[in-house]
Amino acid sequence: MQIERMIRRFREAGLKITPQRVAIFEYLYTTSSHPTVDDIYAYIAGRFPSVSLTTVYNTLQTMVGLGEIEEIAISHERRNFDPDTRPHAHIMCVRCKRIEDIYTDDLSENCLPESVRKRYRILGQRIYFYGLCSRCTTEK
Amino acid sequence: MQIERMIRRFREAGLKITPQRVAIFEYLYTTSSHPTVDDIYAYIAGRFPSVSLTTVYNTLQTMVGLGEIEEIAISHERRNFDPDTRPHAHIMCVRCKRIEDIYTDDLSENCLPESVRKRYRILGQRIYFYGLCSRCTTEK
DNA sequence: TTTTTATATTAAAATGATTACAAATTAAAA
DNA sequence: TTTTAATTTGTAATCATTTTAATATAAAAA
Ligand SMILES: [Mn+2]
Ligand SMILES: [Mn+2]
Ligand SMILES: [Zn+2]
Ligand SMILES: [Zn+2]
């Protein structure tokens, strides 16, 4: 399971397994959405009232460093994290800010001209769509 | 010219033409890069030493509202603005943070499954690539 | 199991970016 | 030129994130 995997990855990296960290793993891998730091903090604080925001920031940063989660830059207002590291695009409703996954093909092949590709070592790509979801279109 | 166009757009919107605003237009349309608020502020402050950061923020926000510039969310560290509103993708070097334009085809057609498209009114799209530029690959 | 130690957590303060506000200034209409 | 509403400025407030140092603890060693 995903959580076991993260525990193993942390162990392998010589990092300690703490209840706070495990709770963060659990939250990330049992919610399908794209939580913000505050979403995660709110959940962890429910189980560990004394948890610090710093711990959440640190753990997320460590996970990004391990390549186990990704940061979504779809909006400057909020920073979202994605435990699904398979390449996929996202669409965000500009009103309710909900983010949905869209699985598409890799673009670096057919989108990047040779002239660009030969000057960069490509490390990643992000595709974001913006729109109004049906719920927000109908609402007053 | 672009600057005249912005002046006209502001006039049409019932907004006043101030020297600070014109200087911002000039900076945006004579630099090909993707400046940050601070880049713009630094330039304007060179010509109007008493200019306020607030003015820069306000003017940029107004221009975004008019659809004349776009905000690039390629990085959470910095907020970049793009006076080129034609659809195009970007590639950023993760080390030196330089951003380059890439002109590609519209993706909303072939990337968005029908199942998604029928639930959203699509308003925009952003495509970002991340990599190491040749300069940064060779440097120690 | 107990001890040890390096790492992690916490709380608080510092930093940095952005926004809010109110007073002073000014573009542009009359 | 006068008037007025919009804009600019300077300052303070807010919010997200990072830094720091003291305390607590996971996990290795004894
Ligand atoms: Mn996703
Ligand atoms: Mn561009
Ligand atoms: Zn919505
Ligand atoms: Zn570079």
Cα A28 to averaged position of ligand 3 atoms, centre (Å): 22
Q: How far apart are CA B120 and CA A131, in angstroms?
A: 6
Residue B110 has pLDDT above 80, yes or no: no
User: What average pLDDT does range B88-94 have in this prediction?
Assistant: 93
Taking residue B126's Cβ as centre, other Cβ atoms within 10 Å add up to 21
Among the residue ranges A4-13, B6-15, B114-123, the one predicted with the least confidence is B114-123
Low-confidence stretches of chain A (pLDDT < 70) are 105-110, 140
B52: three-class secondary structure by DSSP = coil
Provide the residue type at B20 as one letter.
Q
Nearest CA distance, A114 vs chain B (angstrom)? 11
Residue B105 has pLDDT above 80, yes or no: no
Q: Could you tell me the pLDDT band of residue B111, with boundaries at 50, 70 and 90?
A: confident
Q: Does the CB of A54 sit below 7 A from strand C?
A: yes
Stronger pLDDT, A16 or B103, i.e. the higher one: A16
Q: How far apart are CA B127 and CA B88, in angstroms?
A: 8
- What is the dotted CATH code of the domain comprising B2-72? 1.10.10.10
Residue A28 near residue A55 (C-beta atoms within 8 A): no
C-alpha distance from residue B69 to each of B25, B29, B127 (Å):
10, 10, 16
Cα A94 to averaged position of ligand 3 atoms, centre (Å): 7
Q: Domain spanning B86-138: which superfamily?
A: Ferric-uptake regulator, C-terminal dimerisarion domain (3.30.1490.190)
pLDDT digits (tens, 9 = 90+) for A45-80: 999 999 999 999 999 999 999 999 999 999 998 999
User: What average pLDDT does range B39-62 have in this prediction?
Assistant: 97
Question: Which residues does chain B have within 8 Å of residue A135's beta carbon, measured at their own beta carbons?
Answer: none
> Any bridge partners for residue A137, and if so which?
none
The C1' atom of D17 and the CA atom of B60 lie apart, in whole Å, by 24
Place of tokens 């400057």: A76
Give strand D nucleotides closer than 7 A to any protein Cβ. Answer: 6-11, 16-20, 25-27
Residues on B contacting A at a C-beta cutoff of 8 Å: 71, 73-76, 79, 89, 91, 93-94, 100, 102, 104-105, 107-108, 111-113, 116, 119-134, 137
pLDDT at position B106: 64
DSSP A19: H
Cα B44 to averaged position of ligand 2 atoms, centre (Å): 21
Contact between chains at B125 and A130 (C-beta distance less than 8 A)? yes
The C1' atom of D20 and the CA atom of A47 lie apart, in whole Å, by 26
**A37, containing H or E segment:** helix A37-47
**Token pair belonging to B44:** 């304007």
pLDDT at position A51: 97
User: Domain spans of chain B?
Assistant: 2-72, 86-138
Q: Which residues contact B14 (CB under 8 A, 6 or more apart)?
A: none
Residue B81 has pLDDT above 70, yes or no: yes
Start-to-end C-alpha separation, chain B: 43
Q: How far apart are CA B16 and CA B30, in angstroms?
A: 22
pLDDT at position A109: 64
Q: How far apart are CA A123 and CA A108, in angstroms?
A: 10
pLDDT at position B53: 97
How long a stretch of residues is chain B? 140
Strands A120-133 and A89-93: parallel
pLDDT at position B129: 92
Ligand (nearest to CA of A98): 3
Q: Which of residues 35-94 of A touch strand D (CB under 7 A)?
A: 37-38, 53-54, 57, 61, 79
* Nucleotide D6: closest residue by CA–C1': B16
Q: How far apart are CA A114 and CA A55, in angstroms?
A: 43
Please give the angle made by the CA atoms of A98, B112 and B61, to the nearest 5 degrees: 50
Query: Which pTM was predicted?
Result: 0.91
User: What average pLDDT does range B118-127 have in this prediction?
Assistant: 92
